[in-house]
């Protein structure tokens, strides 16, 4: 599993953006300029700005634009401040900002993102089968098995690079999880790129217990990192 507060970076090839100190597709936003990494101030930081970062890093869509050093305080320079997305930018630095290195911030206001791409892991069994767990609000939680079916499992297997879905497990077949239950009444068509694109009751809204944790059995192998 990815360990919170581990010094892990997601850096897309050909960009100058990385996410630090959390999971593959969520973390503190850092920008590379003048041969050093620095942070982004959260002044005017919103989900539209986060959307640019998530897209630039091939991490799906933006779930949240975090503020106030949600993923810990960075160090060194603060490269961007007052970032404002107009709707067409492909890269964060194409958005309006005060100028590289111009700011009135401290690292207590470092900005971050939580993206939809690969915030999913399988726990309790093999690389490509197990209890489905979802990362949200800086914590891993489970998915309720209400309406859980093969279409939902298909999205998870594809998202994790685990081939096709062989079965959608219910009733905590891979053991009960702990902590929050993040998703309930998930309804996928089977074509979605990410589980978060499927219909659901909303993050953290459910009427379940962990005795109903959902799981999947996929056909393939994966090089992702799980429990």
Q: ∠ CA(68), CA(16), CA(158), 5° rounding?
A: 85
Residue 187 main-chain phi, psi, to 5 deg: -135, 105
72: left (phi over 0), alpha (psi -120 to 50) or beta: left
Report the pLDDT averaged over residues 68-82.
Answer: 94
The encoded tokens of residue 136 equal 């949200």
Q: 49 pLDDT exceeds 90?
A: yes
> Beta strand 215-218 with 165-169: parallel, antiparallel or unpaired?
antiparallel
C-alpha distances in Å from residue 135, one per residue of 5, 13, 26, 180? 14, 24, 9, 10
Q: Which domains are present in the chain?
A: 9-115 (3.10.250.10), 120-218 (3.10.250.10)
pTM: 0.53
Q: 110 or 192: which carries more pLDDT confidence?
A: 110
The encoded tokens of residue 8 equal 């892990």
The pLDDT score that the predictor gives to residue 140 is 86
The pLDDT score that the predictor gives to residue 90 is 85
Cβ 113 vs Cβ 65: under 8 Å: yes
Report the pLDDT averaged over residues 11-23.
Answer: 65
Report the pLDDT averaged over residues 27-38.
Answer: 93
Q: 173 pLDDT exceeds 80?
A: yes
The pLDDT score that the predictor gives to residue 88 is 75
What does the pLDDT look like over 205-221, one tens digit per residue?
A: 999 999 999 999 999 75
Q: 152 pLDDT exceeds 90?
A: yes
The pLDDT score that the predictor gives to residue 137 is 73
Task: Say how far apart CA 33 and CA 31 lie, in whole Å.
Answer: 6
Q: 64 or 206: which carries more pLDDT confidence?
A: 206
H/E element, 34: none
> Beta strand 120-123 with 129-136: parallel, antiparallel or unpaired?
antiparallel
């Amino acid at each position: 599993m990815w360990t919170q507060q581990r010094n892990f970076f997601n850096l897309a090839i050909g960009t100058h953006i990385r996410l630090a100190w959390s999971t593959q597709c969520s973390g503190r936003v850092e920008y590379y300029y003048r041969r050093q990494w620095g942070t982004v101030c959260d002044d005017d930081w919103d989900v539209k700005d986060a959307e640019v970062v998530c897209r630039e890093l091939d991490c799906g869509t933006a779930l949240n634009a975090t503020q106030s050093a949600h993923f810990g305080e960075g160090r060194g320079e603060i490269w961007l401040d007052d970032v404002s997305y107009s709707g067409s930018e492909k890269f964060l630095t194409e958005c309006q900002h005060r100028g590289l290195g111009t700011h009135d911030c401290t690292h207590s206001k470092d900005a971050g993102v939580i993206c939809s791409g690969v915030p999913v892991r399988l726990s309790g069994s093999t690389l490509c089968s197990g209890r489905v767990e979802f990362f949200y609000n800086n914590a891993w939680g489970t998915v309720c098995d209400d309406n859980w079916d093969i279409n939902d499992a298909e999205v998870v297997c594809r998202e994790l690079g685990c081939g096709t879905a062989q079965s959608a497990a219910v009733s905590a077949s891979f053991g009960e999880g702990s902590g929050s239950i993040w998703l309930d009444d998930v309804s996928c068509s089977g074509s979605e790129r990410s589980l978060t694109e499927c219909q659901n009751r909303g993050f953290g809204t459910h009427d379940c217990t962990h005795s109903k944790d959902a799981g999947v059995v996929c056909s393939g192998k994966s090089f992702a990192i799980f429990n």
